[in-house]
Amino acid sequence: MNLNIKIENIQHIVSMEVKIDLHNYNMACIVSKNGVGKTTLLKAFSMLYRPSIIKQTCPTGIISEDSKIEISIDDSIYKFFYSPVIDYLESKGFVRTNKTYSLELATPFGDRFQKFSKLSGLDDQLRTNVLIKNYQTANEMSDFLNSIYENTKFKELKTTMIDGVDYYFLIAKNGRYIREDHFSTGEYFIINLYRHLSSTKDILIIDEIDTSLDAAAQVRLITHIREMCKKSNKKIIFTSHSLALLRTLQEDHELLLFLENEEGFVKATPCSYNYVKSSMYGFVGYDRYILTEDIVLEKYLIRILSTIKSKNSYKVIFIGGCQGVISLMDRNKHQQFLSNPKNVISILDGDVKKEILGEKTNIPNIYFIPFDSIEKELFKKYRDRTRYKLPKVGYRNSGAKHIFEKLSDKLSFDKIIGIVEKGHRQEIDSLKKILIEFMR
């Protein structure tokens, strides 16, 4: 499933277009600085099943006659236009989709906050159920909470059903009960998040998923969500500011989107954790910065730099994708959140050289290694493994990444690089000279 959301003239957003790939990814995390438009994006998508969401949760005046929302789900397109009759957005035709959605917003608009008054109204019935012992031990919810917080506080969590809905509580030592809405903010959030994850909804939309959770709990939460999404084939779109949480995302399996707002025009960049950290927080305190595509190339460059004597400190940052590297480098030219542009260079895989340079012979501060990539060069030599005395770990058509991973289990990184560099000594020396000059 592929989503494409376009927003025009809502609040401070002049134009926004975000593409979310839920075909290749079960989880999509959206991150940005405050006020860019993360929550507005989630609300816009939620118009499909809750058309009044913007009116209910936003201040008056953010909608104008030029306001529009367009949502594409694969080949289906849904459009919302301003109507002067209702002074709000309406859809042309019926909104029909074979997907079901669930939304949990941050304070004070999330569903969990709307349940406060309902739970208070059910208190008499809940008290009666407790007195007549009309309840059960909530094993699944208990296990989930205890695994997130790594304690046994909820070992005796109970649940009772009222009007077809399960409500949770603890019985205190004095015999009184503690309702779920009287738990801590984080605990109550986890309970309601579990409800969403256990529901029949296809797509979950969660604003500020790290709400009131410490860093360790955030990491464990993502691990459990990953397992539940995979098991039940659910998709989840969420926002977060937590570096601890973002660091746990698996780049190959989970999408990380960084939103940037330039005078009302918002763009979304698929990126890595390091891209976000650099853009939002910076890597402070280094004299030189080297941006690159992936962790293998990062490790290779650190290996070369370790042989260079310099009084200047350095940081090699893998960003994820050549376009992400170039984008971050360009932004640093204007904002200098890393350093003066002369102190920042990019070194990329050789297979993107034509894509980046186009008709140019070079671009200042952008360089390339002398082979397509470390993995591809190793794979190329694996096809002649007898010559390079490489052990058999797969087939000639197994793929570069697979062969690299398998050989890494058997050979040291230094050994692998020694094989990769064979036949490229002159070009490697040229790359080293570039780094020596840069580190002066």
- Read off the pLDDT of residues 375-417 as tens digits, 9 standing for 90 and up: 999 999 998 888 999 998 887 777 898 899 999 989 999 999 9
> With b meaning 16 or more CB within 10 Å and e meaning fewer, what string describes 335-372?
eeebbeeebbbbbbbbebbeebeeeeeeeebbbbbbbb
pLDDT band at 350; cut points 50, 70, 90: very high
pLDDT band at 108; cut points 50, 70, 90: very low
Most confident of 102-106, 171-175, 236-240, 279-283: 236-240
- With a CB cutoff of 8 Å and minimum separation 6, the contacts of 217 are 148, 149, 186
pLDDT band at 282; cut points 50, 70, 90: low
Residues 401-404: contacts with CB under 8 Å, at least 24 apart: 401/375, 403/375, 403/378, 403/379, 404/296, 404/374, 404/375, 404/378, 404/379
Q: What is the per-residue pLDDT for 363?
A: 93
Whole-number percent of the chain with pLDDT over 70: 94
Whole-number percent of the chain with pLDDT over 90: 42
In angstroms, how far is the first alpha carbon of the chain from the final one?
A: 50
Asked whether residue 117 carries a pLDDT value surpassing 80, the answer given is: no
Q: What is the per-residue pLDDT for 167?
A: 92
Q: Where are the domains of the chain?
A: 2-100+234-281, 111-188, 289-439
User: Is residue 318 helix, strand or coil?
Assistant: strand
Q: What is the per-residue pLDDT for 113?
A: 46
The verdict on pTM exceeding 0.75 is no
Instruction: In whole angstroms, give the CA distance from residue 180 to residue 165.
Output: 13
Instruction: In whole angstroms, give the CA distance from residue 336 to residue 197.
Output: 41
Q: What is the per-residue pLDDT for 114?
A: 52
| Rounded mean pLDDT, 238-261 | 88
Asked whether residue 280 carries a pLDDT value surpassing 90, the answer given is: no
Instruction: In whole angstroms, give the CA distance from residue 31 to residue 242.
Output: 9
φ, ψ of residue 229 to 5 degrees: the values are: -65, -40
Asked whether residue 33 carries a pLDDT value surpassing 70, the answer given is: yes
Most confident of 118-122, 170-174, 199-203, 340-344: 340-344
Q: What is the per-residue pLDDT for 58?
A: 79
| Rounded mean pLDDT, 30-40 | 89
Assigned token pair, 229: 């999404």
Assigned token pair, 295: 């962790």
Asked whether residue 112 carries a pLDDT value surpassing 60, the answer given is: no
2-100+234-281: CATH topology: Rossmann fold (3.40.50)
Mean pLDDT of the chain: 87
| Rounded mean pLDDT, 151-155 | 91
pLDDT band at 94; cut points 50, 70, 90: low
Assigned token pair, 157: 């969590």
Instruction: In whole angstroms, give the CA distance from residue 419 to residue 76.
Output: 51
Q: What is the per-residue pLDDT for 20?
A: 92
Tens-place pLDDT, residues 134-150: 999 999 999 999 999 99
